[in-house]
Amino acid sequence: YDIERDDNLALRDYPTLGRAIEFVYERRPDLKRSKGAAAAAQEARAAAAPEGAAQAAAMPEPEAAGEAAASPAGAAGAGTMPLRGSLEAAQAVPRREPAAVVRPAATRFPRTGVELAEGSRVIVVPDERGVGAALAERLGKRGVEVLVADPSAPSEALVAEVEGWREGGSVTGLYWLPALDATLPAELVEPADRKEALRRRVKALHALARALYGDLAAPGTFMVAATRLGGRHGYDPEGALDPAGGAVTGFTKSLRRERPEALVKAVDFEPSRKTAALADLLIQETLSDPGVVEVGYAAGHRWTVGLGERPVEAGAPLPADSVYLVTGAAGSIVSAILTDLAGTGGTFWLLDLAPEPDRSDPDLERIVSDREGLRADLIRRLQTDGGRVTPAMVERELVRIERAQAALAAILALEEGGATVHYRSLDLRDPAAVTAVVGDVLAGKGRVDVLLHAAGLEISRALPDKSPEEFALVFDVKVEGWFNLVAALGDAPLGRVMAFSSIAGRFGNLGQTDYAAANDVLCKAISEMRRSRPDTRALAVDWTAWGEIGMAARGSMPAIMKAAGIDMLAPEAGMGVVRRELTAGSRGEVVIAGGLGVMVAEDPDAARLEPSGAAASLATAGPMVGRVLGWSLFDGLVVETELDPRAQPFLDHHRIEGVAVLPGVMGLEAMAEAAGVGFPELHVTALEDVGFHAPFKFYRDEPRAVTVHVTYDADGEDVLARCRVEGARVLAGRDEPEVTTHFTGTVRLSPVAPDVMRARTVPDPDGEVVGASSIYRTYFHGPAYQVLERAWRSQGLVAGRFAEHLPPNHEPAERVTLTTPRLVELAFQTAGLAEMALSERMGLPSGFRRLELLRPANGEVGSNALASPCAEGSEGAFDVDVTDAAGRVVLALREYRTSALPGRVSLAALRDDGG
């Protein structure tokens, strides 16, 4: 095509045939000068991709809301399939909830490659409270050339100022700080104030990032934004402080997808008057830890956003007189959802930009029964005007009819199910129109029981091609629509809310800076309702693309999704999810998707921990940390250790029917050691809510790898390490290994080492003493785990004395353990004897509520364990204290339980035979 070569082009910016055709029309010399080039490119793209607007390899809007013809996501087949929601299908799809997780200091992770030194040129768009000023001062002291831009200037003026400064050299990075000035609730209610607040935070960011797009293409460049959502991005019990900050976070996550070579981060803070400290943290985040996009600081900890599966069950059906308010009602997916809700009764107010469907229009039936015949008729109709008919024109008309048919199908289904239906055509961006309709809704019963905000528009386009007008259109449909609804509702009772977001909003996506920004505002607004409307059950749903119906089911999108490893959602599952979440009264944010593929893919080099002196010494000190595999955002720290029964006494001397089994106490030690890798400066003070799920066996004495997954939370100053110990085996006839969870629990890490002074007297025996030879005729333990020298009853408890002259627990023997495993084993075995004495049953450990490490164990010899049944309410459980030779309590085990082995244990077997 005689197009000049451009080495700055990236193939990822042209992922569809439509974009490639557009490129040709834009770049061909003979067309480049043509006034009609842009129009010709648009028509060519539409002809090449009739499934919708320019779709990059992106996550489309799960529900087309009819807000713009620019995104013809119609109701293809909405009335052709008798789809019904299935709770069973819904339960088969993973339900994941984003959650704040603690992350070690940025300096524990690799450097980002950014240099803030002489020769660097950085733009700071500041806040009004002084963080930006302090940041500029610190950058200046490093020799960085800094432009402090005016955040209050119109976007065009801001861009002009920056472009003028760029003439002095390319830009190293951008700090975007206006969202540190949290918006007031009143600013988001008043349309004019809201418009300016959002322009200043995200629309100006769009304009500036668009201008700097080329500068942010290389390693060593950056864009760091800051928000004031509360320090945990709104994923905390109090909820987000400033929903408008979500626009910046959503934009940032998508920009990271478009500019993967640059460092792109959103740093969140709690309310604070500090300026210098926050500036230092922003610099630290710029220099270290490239493996995270969302990071924050609150309650003395550093946080990021993780993801965990949280299943829920459906609740009782909603009352038959419920009032429903639904936006985006003419889209195919919302139409299907409404059809599935038919039969629940109630009053439905359906809002959409599309006009109310004409029930007598024959085209609405033909779009279902004779689509191709209708297409031919439409061509003839359009030709009557004498103009040129393009495929795009025909497709837009088909989409209009599809949406009308979808809306009518929903209306008829609801009416047949006994509901009263009101349809209103309006633009949700019009505050007066929204206020008028909501006034009509409240005039009935004065309340809204269910608000479904599904309105939305998606036009995927890389940032340089995304005009301010297009950005505003996509963003405003969702965001202005939401705030107009909330303002119109005022203080009226609002029972349940479900806002439709997307996995693009949660993770960011190519070509969707506007769409992700809008969706993340919705998610943060739902989070904020914990503060403003604590009685409302508000939920944001991050949908994957729906299959079979909706825009994503068209054209090449299913193939693109499959190649990206992202599962599409079966409609019956999606409809079942809506019914489940509404009846369960869910709140917060939930990701509904199967495989997430590229959305959760991570760079292993960025996910590693940098070795520090403390971490390195810890990793080599204990026997249960072999190597650190990495630090995944979504699965936490991963530590792996290979164990050999022929080399480790704790395995060789712990066999059941000849098979080596990992002792439960070494499973605990594995969790404690792995937890400490992330925070070597902290001390293990307790293990809590521990479960023993399956024995970890070493068949044929072959070595096996023990893998520990750790995610971190906080409790005051303490860090809570949620641990999962897994093992994998390849079974005969299978290609993939079978992964089993063997132990779970929480390790409490504290800034102060345990040193609790508590003494306990060891009572003398009331009667006979049971010796080791009798005990280990019943117990299966080998020499290294024959920790009881003798045991006796006294004063309603069972006491056990630690044995002397035991062989080493592990090799090399000099490696230090954190939990003193054989003292914990002393507690377990003594509790087991107490259980035999009381119930003539023997069991294997099944779990406990808490193991407190009260002070450093001063060796093992001379220790005693005192076991007694728990108080009423914890039947079958035992409490155990372990003392050292001086009578000081070093371990306190609470609510220890076992799983009973078959058969009864004869007390006669435990009588001392003098051995």
Q: What share of the chain is helix, strand, coil (3-state, %, to 5)?
A: 35, 25, 40
Phi first, then psi: give them for residue 472, nearest 5 degrees: -65, -40
Crossing angle of helices 468-489 and 191-198, in 10° steps, is 140
* Cα 204 to Cα 213: distance, rounded to the nearest angstrom: 14
- Residues 692-702 as b/e (b if ≥16 CB within 10 A, e otherwise) read beebbbbeeee
* 683: Cβ contacts below 8 Å, ≥ 6 apart: 749, 750, 751, 752, 753, 754
- Bridge partners of 845? 898
Taking residues 695-710, report their average pLDDT. 96
Taking residues 888-908, report their average pLDDT. 87
- For position 908, what pLDDT does the model report? 67
The pairing of beta strand 864-869 with beta strand 797-802: antiparallel
Question: CA torsion 837→839→840→844, rounded to 10°?
Answer: -90
Asked whether 569 and 500 are in contact (CB, 8 A), the reply is no
Measure Cα distances from 473 to 67, 69, 425 in Å.
Answer: 9, 11, 18
> What is the overall mean pLDDT for the chain?
89
- For position 800, what pLDDT does the model report? 96
* Cα 254 to Cα 884: distance, rounded to the nearest angstrom: 57
Phi first, then psi: give them for residue 200, nearest 5 degrees: -65, -30
405: pLDDT strictly greater than 90: yes
- For position 894, what pLDDT does the model report? 97
Of 211, 242, 210, 238, give the one whose Cα is nearest residue 226: 242
* Cα 291 to Cα 302: distance, rounded to the nearest angstrom: 14
Asked whether 834 and 893 are in contact (CB, 8 A), the reply is no
Condensed to tens digits (0 to 9), the pLDDT of residues 864-892 reads: 999 999 987 678 899 999 999 999 999 99
Asked whether 260 and 218 are in contact (CB, 8 A), the reply is no
Report CA torsion sign: 190, 192, 197, 198.
Answer: positive
Measure Cα distances from 433 to 355, 427, 485, 525 in Å.
Answer: 14, 7, 10, 22
- For position 387, what pLDDT does the model report? 73
Neighbours of 287 (CB within 10 A): 18
C-alpha angle with apex 83: 372 to 94, nearest 5 degrees?
120
Phi first, then psi: give them for residue 10, nearest 5 degrees: -125, 130
Min mean pLDDT across 55-69, 224-238, 266-280, 729-743 is at 55-69
Most confident range (mean pLDDT) of 247-251, 330-334, 620-624, 632-636 is 247-251
- For position 23, what pLDDT does the model report? 79
Condensed to tens digits (0 to 9), the pLDDT of residues 441-466 reads: 999 999 999 999 999 999 999 999 99
- For position 612, what pLDDT does the model report? 58
* 406: Cβ contacts below 8 Å, ≥ 6 apart: 74, 75, 78, 79, 330, 331, 332, 334, 335
Helices in 564-699 by DSSP H: which ranges?
571-584, 613-621, 649-652, 664-678
Min mean pLDDT across 246-255, 298-307, 364-373, 514-523 is at 364-373
* Cα 197 to Cα 191: distance, rounded to the nearest angstrom: 10
Condensed to tens digits (0 to 9), the pLDDT of residues 100-139 reads: 999 999 999 999 999 999 999 999 999 999 999 999 999 9
- For position 76, what pLDDT does the model report? 35
User: What is the edge-to-edge ordering of all strands in the sheet holding 659-661?
Assistant: 655-656, 659-661, 697-698
Of 473, 512, 517, give the one whose Cα is nearest residue 70: 473
Taking residues 246-273, report their average pLDDT. 97
324: pLDDT strictly greater than 90: yes
Asked whether 857 and 822 are in contact (CB, 8 A), the reply is no
The encoded tokens of residue 35 equal 């006034």
Question: CA torsion 899→901→904→907, rounded to 10°?
Answer: -70
* Cα 766 to Cα 282: distance, rounded to the nearest angstrom: 66
Condensed to tens digits (0 to 9), the pLDDT of residues 5-14 reads: 887 777 767 7
Crossing angle of helices 155-166 and 204-211, in 10° steps, is 20
The encoded tokens of residue 340 equal 């599935």
